[in-house]
């Protein structure tokens, strides 16, 4: 029998409906893979009993010929930032260890309504703050990929590192992620899979633990562009419980995958050509341009002049919002509590013990830039820069339909290699933060390997609410790249 874990979600959907296999068989295959890959540390909580019960329910719907949706019977992993009723949700933090939500996030509920099966909760950088999944209270996640001839452990990117590792390592065909500055696209790129951040407001944030509310957006991580289109359709939709949720129809994203981009105008921003960019990244980008040309697209160099200010502006806006959002974790109503002589001491003790170093660093930065005397100099200025970045994109949309860039400045790096240097770590988001600052949709598609045999990705950025063009262009890159490489299974 075919290894069920190696099928795409589209193939699983077709096989389940053709009764080639059952959801129970599919789910058991993934549970076995998940339990045999604990060395990767991708899952924080495994829910095999729940998965089997949900699979049994799906098999009833499939047997009756009335699937609830495209995801009927398909097992998924859920990033531990999404509240799941009755299943621990920690955001990768000690301060929330043991917290079991009495409610379901809108996005996960949408997935269950379409028949998806939950395998468990996936590891992540604490409160989604990180680019390597090394800030998690539950320890770092290991990238399933290793460099050629090496047994050294690499990071899977972050903050959705557990999601990326699970999908790349064939523990789940798809997983939810969140993207505040690149936390879906960057891990997708360094683990050789597909990740899309949709337009801000396309997916509900209700029931998703907040990091930076004006930047956070949920999206899927999958192994193919088609699978991302299928999964995003289920995740997206208006939600009255989220004031930033857009009241727009959700297209059938899968239908956008026509493979035809003739006449599409693709922008190549000159500001993304960085000094010291690795030759492999530059070469891959040029290859992507050639693929687009060969498919009939028109390539045009564009300018996004305020790109160089995006990263510093992001690292003012995001920590400022984080310091506000994380004020609620004080040891009073839920999560960890460390007693003190009075209530102030209890707050201080609980937060000092509950938050890791990176979260503490960002909360302090955020509190500083919002404080009297510094608000205008830092936070207000960063918001003005954000407006200029957004205007840069608005100006070029008259000339181009989508933009092609690398996803990351380097392939995956070693665990522990950059964790002592926050500034170097923050530079991993240099190509991704502009889409968050502007609220635009962007996808990362695996497109090649580094000299050491590690995955590299190309990114397509599109107009607001034009995920269809992003998927269409991403599908062309996928078809041209023919990226079939897989990590060698070294874990047991």
Q: Which residues are catalytic?
A: 79, 159, 183
Which residue, chain included where needed, has tokens 């687009």?
A: 292
Beta bridge partners of 265: 298
Between CA 360 and CA 196 the distance in angstroms is: 29
User: What is the CA angle 143-144-150, rounded to 5?
Assistant: 90
Question: Which of 431, 443, 448, 436 minimizes the C-alpha distance to 473?
Answer: 443
CB 110 within 8 A of CB 207: no
Question: Which of 245, 254, 184 minimizes the C-alpha distance to 226?
Answer: 254
CB 241 within 8 A of CB 205: no
CB 7 within 8 A of CB 20: no
According to DSSP, the β-strands at 402-406 and 455-462 are: antiparallel
Spell out the residues 6+ positions from residue 149 whose beta carbon is closer than 8 angstroms to its own: none
CB 73 within 8 A of CB 16: yes
Exposure string for 445-467, b = 16+ CB within 10 A, e = fewer? bbbbbbebbbbbbbbbbbbbbbb
Question: Which of 167, 138, 169, 144 minimizes the C-alpha distance to 75?
Answer: 167
Residue 134 DSSP label = -
Which residue, chain included where needed, has tokens 């540390």?
A: 41
Spell out the residues 6+ positions from residue 442 whose beta carbon is closer than 8 angstroms to its own: 185, 196, 197, 432, 435, 459, 460, 461, 462, 470
Beta bridge partners of 77: 120, 175
DSSP sequence for 424-474 = HHHGGGTTTHHHHHHT--EEEEEEEE-TTS-EEEEEEEE-TT-HHHHHHHH
């Amino acid at each position: 029998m075919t290894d069920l874990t190696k099928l795409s979600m589209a193939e699983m959907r077709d096989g389940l409906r053709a009764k080639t296999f059952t959801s129970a068989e599919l789910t058991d295959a993934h549970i076995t893979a998940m339990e045999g890959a604990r060395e990767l540390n991708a899952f924080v909580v495994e829910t095999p009993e729940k998965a089997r019960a949900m699979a049994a329910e799906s098999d009833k719907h499939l047997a009756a010929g009335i699937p609830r949706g495209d995801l009927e019977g398909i097992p998924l992993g859920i990033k531990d930032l999404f509240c799941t009723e009755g299943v621990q949700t920690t955001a990768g933090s000690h301060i929330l260890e043991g917290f079991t939500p009495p409610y379901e996030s809108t996005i996960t509920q949408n997935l269950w309504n379409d028949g998806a099966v939950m395998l468990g909760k996936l590891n992540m950088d604490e409160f989604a703050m990180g680019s390597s999944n090394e800030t998690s209270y539950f320890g770092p996640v290991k990238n399933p990929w290793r460099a050629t001839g090496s047994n050294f452990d690499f990071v899977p990117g972050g903050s959705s590192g557990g999601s990326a590792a699970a999908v790349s390592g064939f523990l789940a065909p798809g997983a939810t992620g969140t993207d505040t500055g690149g936390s879906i696209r960057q891990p997708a790129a360094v683990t050789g899979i597909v990740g899309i951040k949709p337009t801000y407001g396309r997916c509900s944030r209700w029931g998703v633990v907040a990091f930076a509310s004006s930047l956070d957006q949920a999206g899927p991580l999958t192994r193919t562009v088609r699978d991302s289109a299928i999964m995003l359709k289920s995740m997206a939709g208006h939600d009255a419980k989220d004031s930033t949720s857009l009241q727009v129809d959700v297209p059938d994203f899968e239908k956008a995958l026509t493979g035809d981009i003739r006449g599409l105008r693709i922008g190549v921003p000159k500001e993304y050509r960085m000094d010291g960019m690795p030759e492999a990244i530059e070469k891959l980008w040029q290859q992507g341009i050639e693929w687009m040309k060969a498919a009939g697209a028109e390539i045009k160099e564009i300018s996004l002049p305020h790109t160089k200010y995006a990263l510093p502006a992001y690292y003012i806006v995001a920590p400022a919002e984080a310091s506000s959002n994380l004020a609620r974790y004080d040891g009073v109503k839920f999560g960890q509590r460390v007693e003190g002589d009075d209530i102030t001491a209890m707050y201080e003790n609980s937060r000092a013990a509950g938050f890791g170093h990176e979260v503490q660093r960002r909360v302090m930065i955020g509190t500083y830039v919002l404080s009297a005397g510094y608000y205008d100099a830092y936070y207000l200025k960063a918001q003005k820069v954000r407006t200029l970045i957004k205007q840069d994109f608005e100006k070029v949309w008259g000339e181009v339909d989508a933009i092609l860039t690398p996803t990351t400045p380097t392939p995956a790096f070693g665990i522990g290699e950059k964790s002592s240097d926050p500034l170097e770590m923050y530079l991993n988001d240099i190509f991704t933060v502009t889409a968050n600052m502007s609220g635009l949709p962007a996808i990362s598609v695996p497109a090649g390997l580094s000299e050491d045999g590690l995955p590299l990705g190309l990114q397509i950025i599109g107009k607001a609410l034009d995920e269809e063009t992003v998927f269409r262009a991403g599908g062309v890159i996928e078809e041209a790249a023919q990226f079939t490489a897989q990590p060698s299974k070294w874990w047991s």
